A and B are shown apart, each in its own frame.
Chain A
Amino acid sequence: QKEVEQNSGPLSVPEGAIASLNCTYSDRGSQSFFWYRQYSGKSPELIMFIYSNGDKEDGRFTAQLNKASQYVSLLIRDSQPSDSATYLCAVRKGAQKLVFGQGTRLTINP
């Protein structure tokens, strides 16, 4: 079982709709959870991080964490073509390394 699993996609969403990206992790001791966005040929950039169960909102982005189900998700409201990218879920235990999923490729269709 992979430590962090994401559906590789591609996920196609019409402009203006909500894009929902999902991630599961295997280590129950994981404490912090991150979403990065990576455009083709570029480096990953941090979108959001979440530590506690529940929702965390930042502009059009909402991260959701459910530690009992070992599940973290990212919602993007009012999707824009500029949101088209690969979204990487990452999980961390304590001060250790960040473990990444394989990424979900998201395409927003105008």
Chain B
Amino acid sequence: NAGVMQNPRHLVRRRGQEARLRCSPMKGHSHVYWYRQLPEEGLKFMVYLQKENIIDESGMPKERFSAEFPKEGPSILRIQQVVRGDSAAYFCASSGEGVGSPLHFGNGTRLTVT
């Protein structure tokens, strides 16, 4: 499967725990984006990364949230000390080089905080 791979598909955490969401981009893609979607709402941009660099984190909450895309391995979105309001679908997308390259999305991780 050469598509964007996200895991886990579903993640349940209790308040105060940490959530780690993983994303492997499509083969040949070096740009990774994370979006959050609440029920019945649109996709909200969180962060844009290239290998080892954060390019744009303007949509990322200042506290508890962090993202990385190391030289080796998947991109990780980490949420520390989760709260109920973090419950959402988190989608990762990747794109190739070139201005205007479309984003291709993974299946998402549904995070539920109890």
**Residues of chain A having any CB pair with chain B under 8 Å:** 31-32, 34, 36, 42-46, 49, 51, 88, 90, 92, 94-103
Contacts and interface: CB of A to CB of B under 8 A. Distances in A.
A98 B91 contact: no
A31 B91 CA distance: 23
Contacts of B91: 43-44
B102 A94 contact: no
Contact of B42 (A32, A46, A49, A88): A88
Contact of A97 (B48, B104, B106): B48
B56 A43 contact: no
B42 A101 contact: yes
Contacts of A88: 42-43
Nearest to B47: A97
Contact of A96 (B44, B56, B93): B56
Contacts of B31: 95
A97 B100 CA distance: 10
A34 B102 contact: yes
Contacts of A94: 99
B100 A98 contact: no
Nearest to A105: B40
Contacts of A92: 100
A43 B107 contact: yes
B100 A103 contact: no
Contact of B33 (A34, A45, A51, A98): A98
B26 to A, nearest CB: 12
A100 B43 contact: yes
Contacts of A46: 102-104
A92 B59 CA distance: 15
Nearest to B106: A43
Interface string B66-104: 000000000000000000000000010100001111111
A98 B32 CA distance: 11
Contacts of B45: 97-100
